[in-house]
Amino acid sequence: MKWEGHRESDNLEDARGGGGGRGGLPMLGGRGIGIGGIVIALLASWAFGINPLTLLGALDGSTVQTDGQQQPPAPTHPQDAPARFVSVVLADTEDVWSKLFQAGGKTYQAPKLRLFEGREPTACGMGQAAMGPFYCPGDSKVYIDLSFYQTLRERLGAPGDFAQAYVIAHEVGHHVQHLLGITQKVEAARRRQSEEAANATSVRVELQADCFAGVWAHHSQQSKGWLEAGDVDEALNAAAQIGDDTLQRNAGRAVVPESFTHGTSEQRQRWFKRGMAQGDLRDCDTFSARQI
């Protein structure tokens, strides 16, 4: 992926080395989530997605609170290559989605992307590196601890810069869902659903974010031509490695479809490819699809 020399984003916040959040366990509706709740949340979302604390709060009908204070961001545009890469990809998502929203008669409001280490207070609760990258609709920010990319490469078997770009594009896809009002409708529906039905709804949310990532990839390549041989395969491999079935199987657990929250490896690959094929948002309606 030929990313060097391209525009960097003005929406990158670098909170690394700033001490992160303070305080004990996140609170849910005035109660400590506890280790069991945290483990469930991390298992449900560590392949990246919407902040699991947001989902727990939405399902419970409560508000997630933290006792940490948001740290002021360090100056943006850090000089280290990993952060510059994130900034360049984020800038390109801004370019692509601004044009797509404009074509639809809307104005795109770009999210902030905050780099952190370890723990970070968010509007959705205390974020932790173990959650993987996540999006918080409460403050319209994407949160990434860059150590996740080492996990992606070494533990999940998904190396490559375009695999990393796919992660960012997926999170920005959640932001697009938020701007289009999809997130709000989904959370309202989840409150009325059983756990199994809510999980199935979550799968459609995540697959749509994968499809939106594919839409970005289509238009990004058209405008910049920066993808090289093997780059798309890197993204597809990453999608495969973080499928619910593959994660459960690799963890030595039985594959339980009713517990899926992100979709199978095959589904994640297929919806990414579907978005990338034509770059048309209308191809990403996972909620109307009879079979996902």
pTM: 0.81
Q: How far apart are CA 286 and CA 119, in angstroms?
A: 33
Q: Strand locations in the chain, DSSP E?
A: 12-14, 27-28, 31-32, 49-50, 64-65, 112-115, 119-122, 125-128, 134-136, 141-144
Residue 74 DSSP one-character state: B
Q: Look over the chain and give the mean of its residue pLDDT values, rounded to a whole number.
A: 82
Q: What band does 19 get if pLDDT is binned at 50, 70 and 90?
A: very low
Alpha-carbon 191 to chain mean position: 22
122: left (phi over 0), alpha (psi -120 to 50) or beta: beta
Check whether 170 has a pLDDT greater than 90. yes
The predicted-structure confidence for 69-85, as pLDDT tens digits, reads as follows 454 444 444 468 999 99
